Amino acid sequence: MKSTILTVLLFCLYGGVMGQYENTIVGPTKAVNPYQYSVVKSGTFNRASVSSAHPLASMVGTAIMQQGGNAFDATIATQLALAVVYPGAGNIGGGGFTLARKKDGTLIGIDFREAAPAKASRDMYLDAAGNAQDALSQSGHLASGVPGTVAGIFATYAHAKLPFAMLIQPAIDLARYGFVITEKEAASLNGTKKDFVQYSTRPSAFVKDTKWKVGDTLVQLELANTLTRIQKNGAKGFYEGETAALIVDEMKRGGGLITLDDLKNYQAKSRTPIVFNYRGYGIISFAPPSSGGILIGQMLKMIEPFNVQKMGFQTPESVQLMIEIERRAYADRAAHIGDPDFYKVPQKTLLQDTYLKNRMSDYKAGVAGSSTQTQAGTIKTSEETTHFSVVDPEGNMVAVTTTLNGGYGNRTVVGGAGFLLNNEMDDFSAKPGSPNMYGAIGGEANSIEPHKRMLSSMTPTLLTKNNKPFLTVGTPGGTTIPTSVFQTIVNIVDFNMSLEDAINNPKFHHQWLPDEVSIEKTFSQSTKEALEKMGYLIKTRGSIGRTEGILIGPTGKRITVADKRGDDAVAGF
Ligand code: GLY
Is the Cβ–Cβ distance between 340 and 289 less than 8 Å? yes
pLDDT, average across residues 418-431: 96
Q: What range does the domain containing 21 cover?
A: 2-270+385-446
State mean pLDDT over 306-334: 98
Q: Is the pLDDT of residue 158 over 80?
A: yes
Atom of ligand 1 nearest to the CA of 424: 1
- Yes or no: say if 336 and 345 are a contact pair by the CB < 8 Å rule: yes
Distance CA 532, CA 429 (A): 31
Q: 105 to each of 222, 296, 395, how far by Cα in Å?
A: 40, 21, 10
The answer to whether 448 touches 116, Cβ cutoff 8 Å, is yes
Provide the 10 A C-beta neighbour count for residue 119.
12
Q: Which residue has the least CA distance to atom 4 on ligand 1?
A: 456
Are residue 50 and residue 109 in the same domain, yes or no?
A: yes
Residue 86 within a domain: yes
Cα of 429 from ligand 1 centre, angstroms: 13
* 152-186 per-residue burial string, b: 16 or more CB within 10 A, e: under 16: bbbbbbebbebebebbbbbbbbbbbbbbbbbeebb
Return the best residue to mutate from 426, 458, 459, 546 for the ligand 1 pocket (most ligand atoms within 8 A of CB): 458
Q: Do residues 84 and 229 both lie within one domain?
A: yes
Is the minimum distance from the CB of 456 to ligand 1 under 6 angstroms?
Answer: yes
Q: Rounded to the nearest whole angstrom, what is the distance from the C-alpha of residue 457 to the centroid of ligand 1?
A: 5
Which atom of ligand 1 sits closest to the CA of residue 438? Answer: 2
The size of the chain, in residues, is 573
Give residue 427's identity as a one-letter amino acid code: D
Q: 457 CB under 6 A from ligand 1?
A: yes
pLDDT level of residue 2 (50, 70, 90 thresholds) = very low
Q: Determine if ligand 1 sits within 6 Å of the CB of residue 458.
A: yes
Please say whether the beta carbons of 534 and 527 come within 8 A. Answer: no
Q: pLDDT tens-digit profile of 450-496?
A: 999 999 999 999 999 999 999 999 999 999 999 999 999 999 999 99
Mean pLDDT of the chain, nearest integer: 93
Contact 403 CB / ligand 1 (< 6 Å): yes
Q: Does residue 564 form part of some domain?
A: no
359 and 391 inside one domain: no
From the CA of 397, how far away is ligand 1's center (Å)?
22
List 156, 385, 403, 527, catalytic entry:
385
Ligand 1: centre distance to CA 544 (Å): 14
Say which amino acid occupies 137.
Answer: S
Of 384, 426, 481, best ligand 1 pocket probe by most atoms within 8 Å of the beta carbon: 481
Does residue 430 register a pLDDT over 70? yes
Atom of ligand 1 nearest to the CA of 292: 5
What average pLDDT does the segment 345-367 reach? 97
510 and 529 share one domain: yes
- 3-class secondary-structure state, position 279: coil
Q: Is 385 a catalytic residue?
A: yes
Q: How far is the CA of 482 from the centre of ligand 1 (A)?
A: 11
Number of domains in the chain: 2
Ligand 1 centroid from CA 122, angstroms = 19
Nearest CA to 179 out of 205, 200, 153, 197 is that of 205
Which protein residue has the closest C-alpha to ligand 1 atom 3? Answer: 456
Q: Is residue 174 part of a domain?
A: yes
CA distance 227 to 212: 24
Residue 406 CA: nearest ligand 1 atom is 1
- Cβ atoms within 10 Å, residue 235: 18
On the question of pLDDT at 15 being above 80, the answer is no
CA of 531 to the centre of ligand 1 (A): 29
Cα 427 to averaged position of ligand 1 atoms, centre (Å) = 7
Q: Using 50, 70 and 90 to split pLDDT, how confident is the model at 211? A: very high
* Gap between the Cα atoms of 390 and 387, Å rounded: 10
> Residue 505 above 60 pLDDT?
yes
- Residue 439: phi, psi to the nearest 5? 75, 5
Q: What are phi and psi of 148, to 5 degrees?
A: -115, -10
Task: Tell me the three-class secondary structure of 177-226, residue by residue.
Answer: HCEECCHHHHHHHHHHHHHHHHHCCCCCCCCCCCCCCCCCEECCHHHHHH
Q: How far is the CA of 330 from the centre of ligand 1 (A)?
A: 14
The tens digit of pLDDT for each residue in 96-146 reads: 999 999 999 999 999 999 999 999 999 999 999 999 999 999 999 999 999
Same domain flag for 536 and 417: no
- Let me know: does 547 contact 484? Beta carbons within 8 Å: yes
Amino acid at 85: V
Q: Is residue 572 part of a domain?
A: no
Alpha carbons 256 and 118: distance in angstroms, whole number: 12
Domain boundary among 446, 464, 484: 446
Band (374; pLDDT cuts 50, 70, 90): very high
Q: Is 405 in the pocket of ligand 1 (CB under 6 A)?
A: yes
Quick: pLDDT tens for 506-535.
Answer: 999 999 999 999 999 999 999 999 999 999
Q: Do residues 68 and 150 both lie within one domain? A: yes
Going by C-alpha positions, the residue among 209, 211, 205 that lies closest to residue 186 is: 211
Q: Are residues 310 and 353 in the same domain?
A: yes
C-beta of residue 270 within 8 angstroms of C-beta of residue 111: yes
For ligand 1, atom 2: residue with the closest CA: 478
Residue 143 CA to residue 121 CA, distance in Å, equals 13
Pocket test for ligand 1, best of 424, 429, 437, 484 (most atoms within 8 A of CB): 424
478 lines ligand 1 (CB under 6 A): yes
Among 403, 404, 420, 437, say which to mutate for ligand 1: greatest number of ligand atoms within 8 Å of CB. Answer: 403
Q: Among 296, 385, 484, 511, which residue has the most ligand 1 atoms within 8 Å of its CB, making it the best to mutate?
A: 385
- DSSP structural state of residue 209: S
Q: Which atom of ligand 1 is nearest to the CA of 291?
A: 5
Single-letter code of the amino acid located at 293: G
Q: Are residues 376 and 392 in the same domain?
A: no
334-351 pLDDT tens trace:
999 999 999 999 999 999
CATH number at residue 370: 1.10.246.130
Let me know if residue 467 belongs to a domain: no
Give me the pLDDT at residue 383, please.
63
Please indicate, yes or no, whether residues 424 and 352 belong to a single structural domain of this protein. no
β pairing state of 39-40 and 548-552: unpaired
DSSP 171: H
Which band of pLDDT confidence, cut at 50, 70 and 90, is reported for residue 442? Answer: confident
Please answer whether residues 557 and 397 qualify as being in contact, where contact means their C-beta atoms are separated by less than 8 angstroms: no
Residue 31's pLDDT band, with cuts at 50, 70 and 90, is confident
Q: Is the CB of 256 under 6 A from ligand 1?
A: no
Q: What is the dihedral of CA 27, 30, 31, 37, to 10 degrees?
A: 140
State which ligand 1 atom lies nearest to the alpha carbon of 426.
Answer: 1
Q: Calculate the CA dihedral of residues 246, 478, 82, 547 and round it to 10 degrees.
A: 170
Q: What is the pLDDT of residues 234-266, one digit of tens each?
A: 999 999 999 999 999 999 999 999 999 999 999
Q: Which of 405, 428, 446 is the last residue of a domain?
A: 446
CA 502 – CA 485 distance, rounded (Å):
10
Q: Which protein residue has the closest C-alpha to ligand 1 atom 1?
A: 405
Name the residue type at position 506: P
Whether 180 and 119 map to the same domain: the answer is yes
Residues 451 and 114: their CA atoms lie apart, in Å, by: 9
Mark whether 392 and 530 lie in a shared domain.
no
The answer as to whether 283 is a domain residue is no
SS3 content of the chain, % helix, strand, coil (to 5): 35, 20, 45
The predicted model scores a pTM of 0.94
Q: Are residues 410 and 487 in the same domain?
A: no
Residue 28 has what pLDDT? 57
Is residue 287 a part of any domain in this protein?
no
- 550 in any annotated domain: no
